[in-house]
Structure 1
């Protein structure tokens, strides 16, 4: 485990610990892979989809921290993104104080996902380096390990916004025809790219703040 953590945290190559830990390059590589396999056994808990209880907790936390109610996820959207319903952008030219304040608040909530990945890179230096494996599954296991461990730490320290209620919600499997799936995809695409919904959401957020 010491070798695996040093590989992850410091980005050491397997052959750099052969003298310090009396471990060959092959054993060092295998210890990293076996460690990752053990950690991702917890992925069903710490990388699972949020329950409705979790989502409401994330809503409340996002509203408390950033002031945007009903927002889930990143708000990393500026002028380069299209005017779609899924994107909430600030104003490139604020026309009044409300729009200016909204743009300032939106900028303060920017790039949550990018900041999270920077934190992961700062904690796990192996993510700053080119991939050493040509196998997609091994690269996936390594990335999941670098995500699961901080999630476990956050929960142990009591910093998680949504408590882990350990409730597995039943999933209903409904069979749809090919035509139904095509219609549903077309409907979702129209809803995603709806400019009027984007303008309405932007206007509502301006008034909310």
Structure 2
């Protein structure tokens, strides 16, 4: 698993500590959301290696939409016996079990390759991380 920070390497700086705490919380939320989807849909737990990324992305979006429809239907019908199965406290503190679909992915090869190059650019990575640390510090550090 790829992590943006190592919590033990930045023990001295308050900005870095705050960033790592927020990054850790976000990672746990993503892992929880995928756990819910994997428990409900076998295709999410065991995707086919022969599928391309676009097909897997479409399947994920469909599973997210279906999950949200099921959750809303169960809430409307008040048939959930064990609400805690899907509610462990959302990011907003409301306990919402809705999963947000990813933003639209690039559709052509040129955009995909450009994004791939950007992701692997170490200088951009460090600058984006520094900007994110500052943003989180400015928003939550005072």
- Tell me the TM-score normalized by structure 2: 0.45
Which structure has more helix as a fraction of its residues?
A: 2
Larger radius of gyration: 1
